[in-house]
Amino acid sequence: MYDADTTREETLDPRDWDEFRGLAHRMVDDMLDHLASLREQPAWRPMPAAVRASFARPLPREGEGAEAVYREFVERVLPYPNGNLHPRFWGWVQGNGTPLGMMADMLAAGMNAHLAGFNQAPAQVEHQVLRWLAELMGFPEGASGLLVTGGTIANVLGLAVARHARAGFDVREEGLQGGRPRMTFYGSGETHGWARKAAELLGLGNASFRRVPTDAEFRVDPEALTAAVRADRAAGLHPFCVIGTAGTVNTGATDDLRALAAFCREEGLWFHVDGAFGSLARLAPDLRPQVEGIEEADSLAFDLHKWGYLPFECACVLVRDAEAHRDAFSIQASYLAETTRGVNAGGLPFADRGVDLTRGFKALKVWMSLKAHGTDALARLIRQNVEQARHLAGRVEAHPELELLAPVPLNVVCFRYAPAGVGEAELNAVNEEILLRLQEGGIAVPSGTVLGGRYALRVANVNHRSRREDFDALVEATARIGGEIRAEAAGAAGRAG
């Protein structure tokens, strides 16, 4: 028999809104205190074994209440991030976020808007943001775009559009299993690992991604690219796309994008640019020449949680040909059909530009940030990051025990501790240990990479909180720790002898 006792019906809303309001205000205050005190905190701290073990507790069957859960967050989660909020975090190209971006995410979560499209203001916010971003990148009016989680997915979607547009047959209907010539695409050996993932995910196979040699400045070699494309055509294969990179992950190098665009036009190839962080250098007038040619791309991927300084997750893919973008992903279903009035007037345009149907309101933090700060402020911060990187490079070159291992065209500095008379194997081991001690000591968070067999400390600076004094401290700590490691090794050798 149906139970009509509505007093037994449940909800996940608070029973006492005033009580929850107090907790919510405390959450905001605590997070703002956390952000305001970052410089006094360690850049990173190891997680104690007891804290790590606490995450192995069994599935909760009964709730413990919001107050208790928040207390656990403050004690066991908040103190142990990877450090990317900190002024001395330069390990990977990860954004720092902003207080306004944090609040925008709260507002977006509060609205909980579904951004497949629909007749709603949040969809208009995303349309406006995409028009602004296309304008910033020099794309034509009417270009298409989509906000996604990160650069990998943005790049994968760009390559998927290229595959569909340049296959020469209906690849969506027929797939790649029909015995047709292998489709091949090209990028430098410095191309980010997304390209391999995309090749595998899109059914092209890793063997279809041709890794072209680079020059002394880590840019794709145009003669080697030409030779590779023509050799594949002569072998009966089907080249369809070239990837140019604006800001490589290892060294910050940028391919000659204008030359690549011209080559692709001549050869009938799709030109995709991975501009994950480097493309936003376009905002700074004196850096714009380094990324010239982005505006000629058929598709472009870039992150706004990198040199846009926004909280995760927020990236963008732009496609010059809006029809090609839709053709690569759009589907028709009666339950998604557009109406002339009501909630679904205007349809679901964002669902037709990618894989996701369900999408969150990422555009709000972009919209609020651009309107509140303006693009000129972003340009100044990007310029500041580049100047800081060049300052660090100068300090390294002036130091008798440090060595710069790559050019510094943008914001990535690769260097090492390298006193005279020390062999390469020992230098590699010492520099790897320096990296770990810098991190574990909470001093700074660079990362490591290997260039030409030499282990490098890698500083990738997209940090709006960094100051020149932070880079000076890194130089001093690197030399000091390097000396300590060598002294420890000499002492151990002496005792063993």
Q: What is the H or E stretch that residue 319 is in?
A: strand 315-319
| 280-322 pLDDT tens trace | 999 999 999 999 999 999 999 999 999 999 999 999 999 999 9
Q: Which residues of the chain have pLDDT under 50?
A: 1-2
Locate the DSSP E strands across 125-208.
144-148, 183-188
* Contacts for 256-262: CB closer than 8 Å, 24+ residues apart: 256/219, 256/220, 256/222, 256/293, 257/291, 257/292, 257/293, 257/294, 257/296, 257/297, 258/292, 258/293, 258/296, 259/222, 259/293, 260/220, 260/222, 260/225, 260/293, 261/293, 261/296, 261/297
User: What's the pLDDT at 3?
Assistant: 52
Q: How far, in Å, CA of 313 to CA of 316, rounded?
A: 10
pTM of the model: 0.92
**What pLDDT shows up at residue 338?**
84
CB 283 within 8 A of CB 375: yes
Residue 138 carries which side chain, given as an amino acid letter? G
The answer to whether 362 and 147 are in contact (CB under 8 A) is: yes
Contacts with 171 (C-beta within 8 Å, 6 or more apart), sequence order: 163, 164
Phi, psi at 212, each rounded to 5°: -90, 140
Beta-carbon contacts of residue 71 (< 8 Å; ≥ 6 apart): none
Tokens 């190839």 belong to 269
DSSP 8-state symbol, 115: T
Can you give the pLDDT at residue 337? 82
The token pair at 325 is 């973008």
CA trace torsion 10, 12, 16, 18 (10° rounding): -160
For position 2, what pLDDT does the model report? Answer: 44
Q: Do 448 and 458 meet the contact criterion of CB atoms below 8 Å apart?
A: yes
Cβ contacts of residue 96 below 8 Å, gap of 6+? 84, 85, 89, 309, 462, 463, 464, 465
